[in-house]
Amino acid sequence: MKTLRYIITFISIATIGFLYLPLAAMALFSFNRAKYGFIWEGFTLNWYIKLFENQAIIEAAFNTLTLAIVSTIVSTIIGSALAIGMQKFPWSFKTQKSLNIMLYLPVAIPDIILAAALVIIFGILRGVSSIFNPGLINMIIGHVTFQIAFVALVVKSRLVSLSSDIEEAAKDLFASRFYIFRRITLPLLSPGIEAGAMLAFTLSLDDFVISFFTAGPQSITLPIYIFGAARRGVTPQIHAISTIILLITVVSVIAAGRLIQKNRQRRSITKDFTHL
């Protein structure tokens, strides 16, 4: 029994090391004085200082944040409305099944296929209006197309877990549908909506394929910039950019974990209230 426990412990530690040691090495070499190679020549913060002196990186960071924030807001509103509509309104079994398939498709389809489809659609729309030329607007639309599905799935899972007893009690007290939605449904859904928004923001922040296919000369994001810089040779400055993106992602994941914890606490309070 002890042998089995040691084997499981070793496999667990090896798996964690396989996942996180490359990230730790990347963060470590972002402080290396050497510009090329993997020989440690001393500690320095110059690579991080140079990041804020590089106008191209600053513009890429601004485009990345603008893209992530705008696409997250739009996809959160549409995705939450889609989840509520699918769960609250009566649908036939076939219609519900079709909607579920359509909802899961953007999650299951590889990014490269979705990006190629977006290029075709934007190419057709470009003949109608120049607004669909490669650039930030196309990137926002492209990100929203796959973020909606993730937001809707998270919000829908929250809806499924909610009891309808409180809403039924409010109806018995002659509360209007808008009042029920504003004062009961929306507050109970808020942890799921916040978690979906955080997931959408993280996905947009890390996306490369769709951004690469829809970007214009003035809308380069950090992942695209890192890809182009890496082709010329990996330097500590690239490690520094990647480390900052990693830290932002970690903070987002921790925030999402706290939202899930609050979600569980509210769920237990709701259950206690319904049992009274």
* DSSP secondary structure code for residue 43 in this structure: B
Please state which of the ranges 187-191, 198-202, 204-208 shows the lowest mean pLDDT. Answer: 187-191
Q: Is residue 267 part of a domain?
A: yes
Asked if 208 contacts 79 with a C-beta cutoff of 8 angstroms, the reply is no
Structural domain span for residue 261 = 46-274
Q: What is the CATH number of the domain that holds 104?
A: 1.10.3720.10
User: Would you say residue 273 has pLDDT above 50?
Assistant: no
| Residue 24 in tokens | 């730790």
Q: Is residue 219 part of a domain?
A: yes
Q: Is residue 66 part of a domain?
A: yes
Please state which of the ranges 9-18, 152-161, 197-206, 247-256 shows the lowest mean pLDDT. Answer: 247-256
Give the pLDDT score at 144.
Answer: 93
Question: Tokens 């214009």 — which residue?
Answer: 216
Give the pLDDT score at 138.
Answer: 92
Asked if 200 contacts 78 with a C-beta cutoff of 8 angstroms, the reply is no
Domain count, the chain: 1
Q: Is residue 15 part of a domain?
A: no
Please state which of the ranges 2-6, 73-77, 150-154 shows the lowest mean pLDDT. Answer: 2-6
pTM for this prediction: 0.78
